[in-house]
Structure 1
Amino acid sequence: MLRYTISTVCLWLFAVSAFAAQNHIGGLRISPSADNTRIVLDLAQAPEFTYFSLTNPHRLVIDLAATDDSADLSTDDDTGKLVRRIRYSTPKNSQSARLVIDLTRDAKPNIFAIPPDGPYGHRLVVDLADSSPSGSSESSSGVLIDSVNNKRDRDIIIAIDAGHGGNDPGSIGPAGTYEKRITLSIAKELEALVNAEKGMRAVMIRSGDYYIYPTKRPEIARQKKADLLISIHADAFSQPEPRGGSVWVLSMRRADSELGRWLEKTERHSELLGGAAEVISDNASERYLAETILGLSMDHSMSASYALSQNVLSEMRTVTPLHKRAPQAASFAVLTAPDIPSILVEVGFISNPQEEKNLNWSTHRQRLARAMFNAAKSYFMQVPPDGTLWASLKERNRTHRVRSGESLSLLAQRYNVKVSSIKEANNLRTDVVRIGQVLTIPST
């Protein structure tokens, strides 16, 4: 009798031990983007898994060993256009769980586990590379650029990057506010302002709640032929006291390393050098020419970035206190495009309770967006990019105030126009001009 009792207890302890070793799915998140969809499973323990793909219809099947299938796989997240649904199917055995991801089309999976980190526990990440990304065929950005037939009078393109997104919430305020939601809201406000301005057009690096790698964000801006990249973030600190906005540009050390990286990628020189890349080979002298041209491009980009950041700070101080009154330099990956002026704007400290409250106020977010817009507009009014409508208008509407010793013939020579053209543009009947007279200088 005692032997039977001991055996029963041992079996019971074994069963309890086996049950305790069972893994459990604690949550499910989906983050779709233009060319990739990420699915993250929160797990109680490190997962043991295998997977395979099926067609007709397209599915990805994941087997999780020693895992129960009691968790709810429904989600409030937007699943995007690639994932139809996620469901359970008949497992290999009673101790495992089989997940099936129903897809609308073929996708290349990349699946890996992540150990606990900070507030996150064990995770299984499923990256699905879309075989037919939406960005390859649609033109939802509204940017019309025909490089063959439209050489002039194009829009100034502002790329707007809402920081973080998807599985990366960014910093979280004391009241639970996610940085990713604040940045996207401000980005959409800025987008509306830019698109309402004739001669300007906005493109969104991300338009929804999905994650894009920082190094890919400037690449998207380049694909969209952006003239400026504005990345929007909210600062945070371990203590609640710090407050105020700041603007960041790329550090010289990171700029030098990025320039070296681009020089090594000779197959991508055409992205920065245009037609010049076709005549630059890899010998020493012509490689030096490439280095010089790329260096000039980087110098111009950084100079423009610094001037723009000063404009933004000047506008932001009317909306919010400034944490840093001068532009700051850092090694942020999102700022590394060597040919696109790029700035990162910290709109305030989300870790400060009062600033978190302000950032949750729609009027405050609109004012921050307006400050960035005014800064960009004032900059491009002074130095519009070549070939844009604003450059054309500035060229047409040049003015000159006559100074002592100047004549029509001297002004015609200086601006490379005919004397008769200046007289016609200003309705002059004689060649006589007076000191202080403002003349319109016609385009060449």
Structure 2
Amino acid sequence: MARILALLSLLLLSPSALAQVSVDGVRTSSTDNGTRVVFDLSGPVEHRVFSLPDPHRVVVDFENTTVDAAVLEAAEGQGVVRNLRGARRDRRDYRVVLDLQSQADVKSFLVKPNDSYGHRLVVDLGGNSRGESPAEPVRTASERNRRELVIAIDAGHGGRDPGAIGPGGTFEKDVVLEVARRLADLVDREPGMRPVLIRDGDYFLELRERTRRAREQQADMFISLHADANPRRNVQGASVYTLSNQGATSEAARVLAARENSADLIGGVSLDDKDDLVATVLLDLSRAATVESSVELAQFMLGRLGAVGRVHRNSVEKAGFVVLKSLDMPSVLVELAFISNPDEERRLRDANHQARLAQAIMGGVRDYAEHALLPELRMAAGEQREHVVQRGDTLSGIARRYQVNLSSLRSANNLQGDRIMVGSTLVIP
């Protein structure tokens, strides 16, 4: 009877549980030709291998595999490999990350058992260093060029232009620079993103120079930071603005835009000349799509700021800010608070509150990157493109959405036809 129960229990186990592979050891070695990492396996395994930049690393995704943490801890860094780390991705799969000293070419292949070793996955960095020849092709992530998302962070005013001045004597230019620096630190720590501080010190920049610097760095987003002011000291709350095509959405927005735009007069530079006019007309060609993206970014950001403190309005405002007229990238202007309000002025001077504001803005950037970016930019923000099938999705529709070939999409997911299941995850090649 016991034998029958044991057989029944084996039959009830899922095929994936019976087929689960384990990584029993990891060996690293280095020669003049490159570095080799060998994973000793209990059986053949489905997997993906791909590289990521800044910082340089190689990712190995094992399907239906278990890895003992002690196995990775025992592996030594060799050659270009600084260290190995890993984590379970879900109940079945496991991801191993090789942190690299520098960029390296990656080759990988499976090796069948021989007299000395069992199944192995070999990852060569910088060249095939010795003897074991390839046995099976490896499914890899797309070789499409990945790049960082560049986030331009513009601390408003500066130098001879102090911006608004609080009742306690706090200069707007100083508090927004502090928040900008904190935000830049957060962006710098985010995988796949790079910050560009438009102003990293106390000096004056013309408004057009700010957007020129952002375009020069090929920025994907532009965030201008300010601290609002109002004759009534009880007015409070953060606001997020985007460019208006037809004028300000409120009288307050109109007055604010006029004050911010007048900053160029302090530098003695007129914005009303033919070159600027021609540039504006040319940039108008891309206005519709960019304004729409800017509103999406602003909405994510406003929601995050609302979790930190009060918001002046519950919706995104629009005004004719010169600094937002870059138009070739999603652009927002954030009024962190009303520096004219004594309570908000004190909070703006507080280092902890500055950090919370920077974290809220970073949260908005991250939300936008994850939900609203074009597919080719989303690749830069994350490690791998995947799509979770929703009700109503079709394979051809998903291919059009991500701008990939339908047959390539089938091949990357081992599909024989076009049938897909709701809730399943597709790899986007």
1:222 aligns with 2:210: no
Report the counterpart of residue 83 of structure 1 in structure 2: none
In 1, Cα distance between the equivalents of 2:369 and 2:194? Answer: 13
The question of whether the paired residues in 2 share the 8 Å contact of 1:248 and 1:343 is answered with: yes
Check conservation: 1:301, 1:339, Cα contact below 8 A: yes
Give the partner amino acid of 1:438. S
Contact kept? 1:422, 1:441, Cα under 8 Å: no
Displacement after TM superposition at 1:227 (Å): 1.1
> How far did 1:262 drift?
7.3
Which residue of structure 2 lines up, in the alignment, with residue 156 of structure 1?
Answer: 149
Work out whether 1:335 is the aligned partner of 2:324: yes
Name the CA distance, whole Å, in 1 between partners of 2:146 and 2:420: 34
Structure 1 distance, partners of 2:362, 2:369, is 11
Q: Is 2:427 the partner of 1:438?
A: no
Over 3 Å off, 4+ runs: 260-265, 293-296, 385-389, 391-396, 401-404, 408-424, 430-437
Q: Does 1:301 align with 2:290?
A: yes
Deviation at 1:435, TM superposition (A): 4.7
Distance 1:434 1:300 in 2: 32
Conserved? CA contact 1:399–1:441, under 8 Å: no
Measure the CA separation in 1 of the matches of 2:356 and 2:191. Answer: 20
Quote the Cα distance in structure 1 between the aligned partners of 2:147 and 2:397: 33
- 1:372-391 maps to which residues of 2 (within 5 A)? 372-385=361-374, 387-388=376-377, 390=379
Q: 1:394 to 1:177 in 2, by over 3 A?
A: same
Q: Give the letter aligned to residue 361 of structure 1.
A: D
Tell whether the 8 Å contact from 2:324 to 2:331 is kept in structure 1 after alignment. yes
Q: Deviation per CA, 1:353-411, whole angstroms, max 9, x where unpaired? A: 1111111111111111111111111112123356546258587323324769x7x7998
Partner residue of 1:112?
Answer: none
Query: CA 1:439–1:315 in structure 2 vs 1: closer, same or farther (change >3 Å)?
Result: closer
Counterpart Cα distance in 1 of 2:399 and 2:175: 53
Equivalences for residues 91-240 of structure 1 within 5 A: 152-240=145-233
The aligned amino acid for 2:191 is: K
- Report the CA distance shift for 1:195/1:219 in structure 2 as closer, same or farther (over 3 A): same
Is the Cα contact below 8 Å between 1:152 and 1:388 reproduced in 2?
no
**Counterpart Cα distance in 2 of 1:410 and 1:352:** 51
Distance 2:341 2:396 in 1: 63
Distance (whole Å) between structure 2 residues aligned to residue 207 and residue 263 of structure 1 = 26
Q: Show the counterpart of 2:40.
A: none
Match in the other structure for 2:268: none
1:298, 1:261 → 2: CA distance? 19
Q: Distance between the aligned counterparts of 1:361 and 1:296, measured in 2?
A: 42
Whole-Å Cα distance in 2 between the matches of residues 321 and 244 of structure 1?
Answer: 5
Distance 2:396 2:374 in 1: 29
Residue number in structure 1 paired with 2:352 = 363
Check whether the contact 1:159–1:221 (CA below 8 A) recurs between aligned residues. yes
**Distance (whole Å) between structure 2 residues aligned to residue 188 and residue 378 of structure 1:** 20
Contact (CA 8 Å) 1:412, 1:419: kept in 2 or not?
Answer: no
In structure 2, what is the equivalent of residue 250 of structure 1?
Answer: 243
The amino acid of 1:442's aligned partner reads: I
Q: In the TM superposition, what whole-angstrom CA distance separates every residue of 1:199-233 from its partner, at most 9, and x where no partner exists? A: 11110110001111123211111111111111111
Partners of 1:341 and 1:421 in 2: how far apart? 30
User: 3-state SS of the aligned residue for 2:215?
Assistant: helix
Using the alignment, how far apart are the partners of 2:343 and 2:396 within structure 1?
63
What is the alpha-carbon distance in structure 2 between the residues aligned to residue 297 and residue 235 of structure 1? Answer: 29
CA distance in 1, matches of 2:284, 2:161: 34
Give percent identity, aligned residues only.
36
Long gaps (5+) in structure 1? 1-149, 270-290
CA–CA distance in structure 2, aligned partners of residues 183 and 262 of structure 1: 30
- Mapped to 1, the partners of 2:384 and 2:147 lie a distance apart of 15
Per-residue deviation at 1:152?
2.7
- RMSD between aligned residues: 3.6
What CA distance in whole angstroms lies between the structure 1 residues aligned with 2:366 and 2:176? Answer: 20
Match of 2:308 among 311, 319, 334: 319
Q: How many residues align?
A: 264
Distance of 2:193 and 2:390 partners within structure 1 = 29
Amino acid at match of 2:242: V
Evaluate the alpha carbon distance shift between residue 195 and residue 175 of structure 1 in structure 2; reply closer, same or farther with a 3 A threshold. Answer: same
Partners of 1:234 and 1:350 within 8 A in 2? yes
Checking the alignment, whether the CA contact within 8 Å between 2:211 and 2:326 is kept in structure 1 is yes
User: Tell me, what secondary structure is at the counterpart of 1:252?
Assistant: coil
Contact 1:243 1:355 in 2 (8 A): yes
- 1:161 is paired with a residue of what secondary structure? strand
For residue 203 of structure 2, give the secondary structure of its aligned residue in structure 1. Answer: coil
**Deviation of the 1:253 alpha carbon:** 3.6
The change in CA–CA distance for 1:381 and 1:170 in structure 2 (over 3 A counts) is same
Instruction: Decide whether the 8 Å contact of 1:194 with 1:373 is kept in 2.
Output: yes
> Taking structure 1 as reference, are residues 312 and 411 closer, same or farther at Cα in structure 2, changes over 3 Å only?
closer
Separation in 1, partners of 2:167, 2:397: 66
TM-score by length of 2: 0.54
2:410 counterpart of 1:425:
no
What is the CA–CA distance in structure 2 between the aligned matches of 1:164 and 1:401, rounded to whole Å? 46
2:152–2:197 Cα contact (<8 Å) kept? yes
Q: Give the aligned partner of residue 350 of structure 1.
A: 339
Change beyond 3 A, Cα 1:441–1:351? same
Q: CA deviation at 1:350?
A: 0.9
Amino acid at match of 2:192: G
Listed one character per residue, the Cα deviations across residues 55-88 of structure 1 (whole Å, up to 9, x for unaligned) are: xxxxxxxxxxxxxxxxxxxxxxxxxxxxxxxxxx
Distance in 1 of aligned mates of 2:224 and 2:381: 28
Distance 1:263 1:208 in 2: 26
| Letter in structure 2 aligned against 1:373 | M
Q: Matches of 1:154 and 1:368 in 2, distance apart? A: 27
Among candidates 383, 386, 408, match of residue 397 of structure 1:
386
Query: Does 179-188 or 236-245 show the bigger shift?
Result: 236-245
